Amino acid sequence: MPNPIRVTVWSEFRHEKHNPRVQAVYPDGMHTVIAAALRQQGFETRTATLDEPEHGLTTDVLAQTDVLTWWGHLAHREVDDAIVERVHQRVLNGMGLIVLHSAHLSKIFMRLMGTGCNLKWREANDRERLWVVAPGHPITEGLGEYIELEREEMYGELFDIPQPDHLVFVSWFSGGEVFRSGCCYQRGQGKIFYFRPGHETYPTYHNPEVQRVIANAARWAAPVQTAPRAFGNRKPLETLPAETAS
Amino acid sequence: MPNPIRVTVWSEFRHEKHNPRVQAVYPDGMHTVIAAALRQQGFETRTATLDEPEHGLTTDVLAQTDVLTWWGHLAHREVDDAIVERVHQRVLNGMGLIVLHSAHLSKIFMRLMGTGCNLKWREANDRERLWVVAPGHPITEGLGEYIELEREEMYGELFDIPQPDHLVFVSWFSGGEVFRSGCCYQRGQGKIFYFRPGHETYPTYHNPEVQRVIANAARWAAPVQTAPRAFGNRKPLETLPAETAS
Amino acid sequence: MPNPIRVTVWSEFRHEKHNPRVQAVYPDGMHTVIAAALRQQGFETRTATLDEPEHGLTTDVLAQTDVLTWWGHLAHREVDDAIVERVHQRVLNGMGLIVLHSAHLSKIFMRLMGTGCNLKWREANDRERLWVVAPGHPITEGLGEYIELEREEMYGELFDIPQPDHLVFVSWFSGGEVFRSGCCYQRGQGKIFYFRPGHETYPTYHNPEVQRVIANAARWAAPVQTAPRAFGNRKPLETLPAETAS
Amino acid sequence: MPNPIRVTVWSEFRHEKHNPRVQAVYPDGMHTVIAAALRQQGFETRTATLDEPEHGLTTDVLAQTDVLTWWGHLAHREVDDAIVERVHQRVLNGMGLIVLHSAHLSKIFMRLMGTGCNLKWREANDRERLWVVAPGHPITEGLGEYIELEREEMYGELFDIPQPDHLVFVSWFSGGEVFRSGCCYQRGQGKIFYFRPGHETYPTYHNPEVQRVIANAARWAAPVQTAPRAFGNRKPLETLPAETAS
**B176-194 average pLDDT score:** 98
B54 CB neighbour count, 10 Å cutoff? 15
As a whole number, the mean pLDDT across chain B is 96
- What is the average pLDDT across C139-151? 98
C122-134 pLDDT per residue, tens: 999 999 999 999 9
Rg (CA), chain D: 19
pLDDT digits (tens, 9 = 90+) for C12-27: 999 999 999 999 999 9
Chains that touch D (3 or more CB pairs under 8 A): A, B, C
Compute the distance between CA of residue C134 and CA of residue D204 in angstroms, rounded to an integer: 44
Q: How far apart are CA C143 and CA D246, in angstroms?
A: 30
Secondary structure (DSSP) of C93-146: TT-EEEEEGGGGGSHHHHHHH-S----EEEEEEEEEEEEES-TTSGGGTT--SE
Whether the CB of C232 is below 8 Å from some CB of chain B: the reply is no
Q: What pLDDT sits at residue B165?
A: 98
Q: What is the mean pLDDT of chain C?
A: 96
Ramachandran region of residue D82, left (φ > 0), alpha (ψ -120 to 50) or beta?
Answer: alpha
pLDDT computed for residue D201 by the predictor: 97
* Dihedral sign, Cα of residue A115, residue A116, residue A121, residue A123: positive
Q: What mean pLDDT do residues B69-93 have?
A: 98
The C-alpha atoms of residue A121 and residue A173 are separated, in whole angstroms, by 11
CB spacing of A167 vs C167 below 8 angstroms: yes
Find the range with the poorest average confidence among A76-80, B130-134, D163-167, D241-245: D241-245
- Which of D112, D130, D226 to probe the A interface (max A CBs under 10 A)? D226
Cα(C158)–Cα(D183) distance, integer angstroms:
24
Q: Are C151 and C176 in contact (CB under 8 A)?
A: no
pLDDT of residue B3: 84
Judge whether C101 lies within some domain: yes
Interface predicted TM-score of the whole assembly (ipTM), two decimals: 0.96
| pLDDT, tens digit (0-9, with 9 covering 90-100), for D122-141 | 999 999 999 999 999 999 99
What share of chain D in percent tops pLDDT 90? 95
Whether the CB of B156 is below 8 Å from some CB of chain A: the reply is yes
Angle, alpha carbons B29-B34-B39 (nearest 5°): 125
Would the CB atoms of B177 and A112 count as touching at under 8 Å? no
d(C-alpha A69, C-alpha A10), whole Å: 6
Q: Average pLDDT, stretch B93-110?
A: 98
Domain assignment of residue C241, yes or no:
no
Average pLDDT, chain D: 96
> Taking 60 as the threshold, does the pLDDT of residue B2 lie above it?
no
Check if the beta carbon of residue D169 is closer than 8 Å to that of residue D182: yes
Among D residues 212-231, those touching chain C with beta carbons less than 8 Å apart = 229-231
Touching C: A residues 109-138, CB under 8 Å: 129, 131-135
* Chain centroid, CA B245 distance in Å: 48
> Within a domain: residue D140?
no
Domain-located, residue D121: no
In a domain, D122, yes or no: no
Q: Amino acid identity of C103?
A: A
Domain total in chain C: 1
The type of residue at D37 is A
Q: Which of D132, D134, D170 sits opposite B170 (nearest CB)?
A: D170
Q: Sign of the CA dihedral D191, D194, D200, D205? A: negative
pLDDT band at D3 (very low <50, low <70, confident <90, very high): confident
The string of pLDDT tens digits covering residues C220-236 is: 999 999 988 999 999 99
pLDDT tens sequence across A109-136 = 999 999 999 999 999 999 999 999 999 9
- Which residues on chain A are in Cβ contact (under 8 Å) with B121? 232-234
- Give the whole-angstrom CA distance, residue D4 versus residue C213: 50
The pLDDT of residue D233 is 97
Which pLDDT tens digit goes with each residue over C91-110? 999 999 999 999 999 999 99
Across C56-73, average pLDDT: 98
Q: Nearest-CA distance from B130 to chain D in Å?
A: 9
> Is it the case that residue D241 has pLDDT exceeding 80?
no
Q: Is D186 on the interface with A (CB under 8 A)?
A: yes
Pairing type for strands A120-132 and B232-233 reads: parallel
The model's confidence at residue D158, banded by pLDDT at 50, 70 and 90, is very high
Integer Cα distance of D127 and D112 in angstroms: 30
Asked if A161 has any chain B CB less than 8 Å from its own CB, the reply is: no
List of chain A residues with pLDDT < 70: 1-2, 242-246
Predicted confidence (pLDDT) per residue in D45-94, tens digit: 999 999 999 999 999 999 999 999 999 999 999 999 999 999 999 999 99
Q: Given CB atoms, is C181 within the 8 Å cutoff of chain B?
A: no
Measure in Å the smallest separation between the Cα of D124 and chain C Cα atoms: 5
How far is the CA of D136 from the CAs of A136, D140, D144, D166, D182, in angstroms?
20, 7, 11, 12, 14
| Model pLDDT, residue C245 | 45
In a domain, D135, yes or no: no
Give yes or no for D64 touching C (CB within 8 A). Answer: no
Q: Is residue C17 part of a domain?
A: yes
Residues in chain C: 246
Binned at pLDDT 50, 70 and 90, residue D243 comes out as: low
Cα separation values, C72 from B56, C12, C69, C101, C161, Å: 55, 5, 10, 8, 18
Helix extents (H) in A73-127:
81-92, 107-113
Domain containing C62 equals: 6-114+181-221
Q: Examine the pLDDT at B216 and tell me if it is beyond 90.
A: yes
Instruction: Look at residue D227 in the predicted model and tell me its pLDDT.
Output: 87
The number of C-alpha atoms within 13 Å of C112 and in the hemisphere containing its C-beta is 33
**Nearest-angstrom CA–CA distance, B210 and B202:** 12
C238 and B174: CB-CB below 8 Å?
Answer: yes
Tell me, yes or no, whether C147 lies in a domain: no
The CA distance from D174 to D226, in Å, is 45
Q: Tell me which residue in C132, C172, C180 faces A177 most closely, judged by beta carbons.
A: C172
Q: Is the pLDDT of residue B25 over 60?
A: yes
pLDDT value at B135 more than 80: yes
Q: What is the reported pLDDT for D242?
A: 64
CATH at D13: 3.40.50.880
A75 burial (CB, 10 Å; 0-12 / 13-18 / 19+) is: middle
